[in-house]
Amino acid sequence: MRNVSSGYESDNNLAFVVELVAALFGFFGIGHMLRGRIGLGVALLLAGWVWGAIFALVASFTGGISALCTCPMHVALALGSAFLARR
């Protein structure tokens, strides 16, 4: 007997991977758009760009030292968004 996964499960995994990779590069919400949640995806995309601008501004004023805090926060946000895209 073969174990065949449903298309729903593979869509969830694809949304997770796409969201995680895109979010790590600053494009939050792409996985949500892939799942059909366009409004949420666009909102996350815009919020991600605002987050990136704040990150760059703070890093420029602190000489990059703030990246020690904001980089782990960015990874945590990307993971959180990816897990939400999987739901």
pLDDT digits (tens, 9 = 90+) for 19-65: 999 999 989 999 999 999 999 999 999 999 998 898 889 888 888 88
Does residue 60 sit in helix, strand or coil? Answer: helix
pLDDT greater than 80 at residue 1: no
pLDDT greater than 90 at residue 69: no
Quickly count: other Cβ atoms within 10 Å of residue 80's Cβ.
13
pTM to 2 decimal places: 0.77
Token pair listed for 45? 């995309």
Quickly count: other Cβ atoms within 10 Å of residue 68's Cβ.
9
Q: In this structure, which amino acid lies at residue 71?
A: C
Interval 80-84 mean pLDDT: 90
How many whole angstroms from its chain centre is CA 59?
Answer: 21
